[in-house]
Structure 1
């Protein structure tokens, strides 16, 4: 039985069509016929987690079926790659599946939603998945946001992680640097300094506040070194206050009654949010 594709929802329950909730909608196929999802956004699987899942399946059975699609005479996983790995550990030859009719774009979307709902995907994997949806399927950020149940600003911020040096991205994937810390590292424009601070975050557990303080010291050091203008404590305090109130990076360049204020933003949503904050509503 092949179930036609339906609109994607924001929860795992939306990934398995409601008309196959009883076992009459299941199909039994050979495990050897099932191939992994080529659009699987998750690149790292915990061996310990897969072993725990296999133990649970051995004890209680496969409560939720693996969802697959037909592809080149075989089947590809749509949802349930961890379950497939678990039943392989158990040595199962056959498994119950639900066969659905989905396109490549939906294959990535469904796998992404499954991992997001279970919080099984790290920020770098998430960012790469968003980029694939954008580059391979031409989806705009607001379309991606709607699919995964996030707002556009969140999608834009996550995608910016891919601008960080490879070493820093690796630390994020390992879980040694969190998303909030990664976002703060993006406010530093020197890649060498980013890597140095990232290593401290990973090794010493620096908080977001620690990173902000290091950035402030870095900025003070640069101003002292350049000697472009004398350090004005009031301008520095105003810069920090504006950055905090507008929730983004702000630069104030002031010299003898002239200068400029630079406010960073990375999406239309962030721009609109800044305008609202400036206007006071």
Structure 2
């Protein structure tokens, strides 16, 4: 099974806007005076990783400060860094370094969501939920979100589409039995029941993403046929995959390449007409 790419390669400090009225202030705070963020998009913290981080903190201390905001009763609420906070408690720290920010509610949630998206250990479903919350609930455009987390607009759109999968399939993505690429392939199938069935077969059979795509197209998304009726070879699959990646990166769109009789067809998928119009404008400018 192909390993999915995780994390977005930029730290929180690079993407959080500077505060004006109440600038950031670094303090040492009692760990028991800090509360978790109720809007925290992460739903689970892997025990092994938490244990390892706690061990590192025991040896070297908490090197990266938490980010908090003032709360009621002289307490503080986490904006970012809940995993580090939990590990610090596990390591027995009494006080922790923290950057205190006074931020509007939307900025608070944005920071928490984006901090989770730039982590390397976040599963694609949590990433997708964070993207959807930022775009749908907080009104951040996909272009702006892509810029702030260092991904393409197409990658953001692809993540959000994963949430169209049925719950059993999302569960397989969360626990690592299937990758983000498998999820995108299964979306080709229009029926939710068939999606669940295909996902189970892919997980049980250890199918590659390319094999899952081929099976998905045979279940209603357009059958993948080799020229002159033959099977698609491994070399052809690799070439089609490379073409999808290159075109997707160049156009900033979701691209699918498949056989069409004796030829090959490339399809572009868009969330709406606005996304299509934006691509048309970019292409026109390049011309």
Counterparts of 1:85 and 1:61 in 2: how far apart (Å)?
13
Secondary structure (helix, strand or coil) at the match of 1:118 reads coil
Residue 102 of structure 1 corresponds to which residue in structure 2?
Answer: 103
Counterparts of 2:165 and 2:280 in 1: how far apart (Å)?
24
TM-score, scaled to structure 2: 0.71
Counterparts of 1:242 and 1:66 in 2: how far apart (Å)?
44
Distance verdict in 2 for CA 1:28–1:198, change over 3 Å: same
Secondary structure (helix, strand or coil) at the match of 2:101 reads strand
Q: Contact 1:41 / 1:108 at 8 angstroms: preserved in 2?
A: no
Q: Structure 1: any 5+ residue segments left out of the alignment? A: 1-8, 19-24, 223-230, 253-260
Distance verdict in 2 for CA 1:98–1:272, change over 3 Å: closer
> How far 1:264 moved relative to its partner?
5.8
Counterparts of 1:47 and 1:270 in 2: how far apart (Å)?
43
Q: Contact 2:188 / 2:221 at 8 angstroms: preserved in 1?
A: no
Distance verdict in 2 for CA 1:105–1:98, change over 3 Å: same
Q: Which moved more, 1:65-74 or 1:80-89?
A: 65-74
Matched residues, number: 249
Q: Structure 2: any 5+ residue segments left out of the alignment? A: 1-8, 19-24, 232-236, 248-254
TM-score, scaled to structure 1: 0.72
1:180 aligned onto 2:188:
no
Correspondence list, 1:1-281, <5 A: 10-14=10-14, 26-73=26-73, 74-219=75-220, 247-248=255-256, 265-267=269-271, 268-269=274-275
Q: Contact 1:187 / 1:249 at 8 angstroms: preserved in 2?
A: no
Q: Contact 1:153 / 1:269 at 8 angstroms: preserved in 2?
A: no
| RMSD, aligned α-carbons | 4.1
Distance verdict in 2 for CA 1:274–1:186, change over 3 Å: farther
